[in-house]
């Protein structure tokens, strides 16, 4: 949205994250948000789109990577479609770029073919900022529209740091996953029939521990028929991996 002078006051990025051709994605562990530009159908040049989104991306990342006049970069508010109709979820305040992504990788023009049509679009990377307990004040939004030059004093501290230091001032909102490994006791809980099976397997492979790897693969295949293309690793220097296979379209190891 523009302020009275025609300058962009702020930008709303909306995504459904459900378009297979344009897989926008938020990595909640790192706070990195991948967003595709608005040239999503053939017929236009890269930056000549109806909404001008790709041209905006080009300008914003150019400013970011120049390190000058960072206050000309508008804040980005990211929303995700969340259910039916106009129901949306606010994902956060975002800044272009990320300290872990080099300047030549955070905005990339690439070719895509849909049907028989070949055209270009942008792939861009933003960071959801860690605003901690600060809220996005309505006064800040109003100042961005009506008094842009003096609006920064009402901005969250995370945005101020970005405007001051650019890429190096970005502090991401991270949400590391918590993995709880089951204890040995929890893993060994089973009924009497289960215990008999486990003991029979242990006895059979007692003198041939590496032979159990093929057995483990077979058990995995019986658990879920989506597992496929297993390859047994060599018995030594395998990094603790017994086999490598695929489930659906993703590689996995155990």
pLDDT digits (tens), the chain, 254 positions:
666 566 899 999 999 998 888 999 999 999 999 999 999 989 899 999 999 999 999 999 999 999 999 999 999 999 999 877 789 999 999 999 999 999 999 999 999 888 889 999 999 999 999 999 899 999 999 999 999 989 999 999 999 999 999 999 999 999 887 777 777 777 777 778 888 888 898 899 888 877 888 888 888 888 777 777 777 766 654 445 667 777 765 444 44
Instruction: Give me the numbers of helices (H) and strands (E) for the chain, helices first please.
Output: 6, 10
- Please say whether the dihedral angle defined by the alpha carbons of residues 66, 165, 34 and 157, taken in this order, is positive or negative: negative
Residue 84, both tokens? 């039916």
Indicate whether this model's pTM tops 0.85: no
Alpha helices in the chain (DSSP H): 53-66, 138-146, 157-165, 184-187, 192-204, 212-223
Tell me how crowded residue 228 is: count the other CB atoms within 10 A of its CB. 10
Q: Which two tokens stand for residue 38?
A: 């608005």
The candidate with the shortest Cα–Cα distance to 122, out of 27, 28, 52, 68, is 52
Of 122, 124, 114, nearest to 43 (Cα)?
Answer: 114
């Amino acid at each position: 949205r523009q302020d009275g002078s025609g300058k962009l006051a702020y930008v709303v990025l909306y995504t459904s994250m459900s378009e297979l051709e344009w897989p926008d994605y938020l990595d909640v562990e790192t706070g990195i948000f991948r967003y595709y530009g608005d040239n999503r159908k053939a017929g236009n040049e890269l930056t000549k789109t109806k909404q001008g989104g790709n041209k905006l991306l080009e300008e914003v990342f150019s400013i970011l990577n120049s390190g000058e006049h960072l206050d000309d970069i508008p804040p980005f508010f990211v929303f995700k479609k969340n259910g039916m109709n106009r129901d949306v979820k606010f994902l956060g305040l975002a800044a272009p770029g990320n300290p872990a992504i080099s300047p030549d990788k955070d905005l990339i023009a690439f070719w895509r073919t849909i049907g028989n049509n070949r055209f270009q679009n942008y792939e861009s990377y933003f960071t959801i900022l860690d605003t901690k307990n600060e809220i996005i004040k309505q006064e800040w939004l109003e100042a961005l529209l009506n008094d842009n030059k003096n609006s920064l004093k009402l901005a969250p501290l995370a945005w101020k740091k970005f405007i001051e230091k650019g890429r190096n001032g970005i502090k991401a909102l991270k949400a590391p996953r918590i993995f709880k490994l089951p204890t040995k006791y929890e893993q060994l809980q089973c009924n009497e029939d289960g215990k008999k099976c486990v003991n029979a397997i242990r006895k059979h492979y007692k003198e041939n521990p590496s032979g159990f790897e093929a057995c483990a693969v077979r058990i995995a295949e019986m658990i879920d028929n989506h597992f496929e293309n297993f390859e047994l690793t060599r018995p030594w220097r395998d990094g603790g991996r017994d086999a490598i296979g695929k489930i659906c379209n993703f590689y996995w190891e155990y």
